[in-house]
A and B are shown apart, each in its own frame.
Chain A
């Protein structure tokens, strides 16, 4: 069974631009979560989608948004990029919602903002 895939793997943007990252969950998984990883702040939860609805949101500004499609694939968008948005963005999928369900992580998209 294929794992979680994220595209693109690497991205370079300039301040003020916007970016869209894509995540394809493991087949049959309905929950997709996004995390930001930076050296200073560590791993932080962005949001979770389940059945095309955002179910949970972390403490990030409104410039960060996402959506989920009917096939469970998810995208996240960051508008008006800032230098501080440079990070590794990780997507994770799980079969169902639930604190005990294992989340499977993709390899991440490394975003560099110049």
Chain B
């Protein structure tokens, strides 16, 4: 079966750095997405990786290793507004998005 694993919850301090990991087993691979979802709101797109390596976009970076079935989202200089769930999703060989359940990130002052 297809599976996306990510931690259920993480806590970090304002101003610090946090890394959210995601491992996946899917039938085929056409890219990995990270979305941010605030409580009661829709997911918003953060990043897309299809080749191995690090993609940097401001305070957020996303890393992919296809051979390991592994990605992480790195958030720097954490702000209180970064408190949200972070969803990892993989597009499989049928171009269907397989979603993780999300990691709830709690930022403390």
Asked if chains A and B come from one complex, the reply is no
Interface residues of A (CB under 8 A from B): none
Interface residues of B (CB under 8 A from A): none
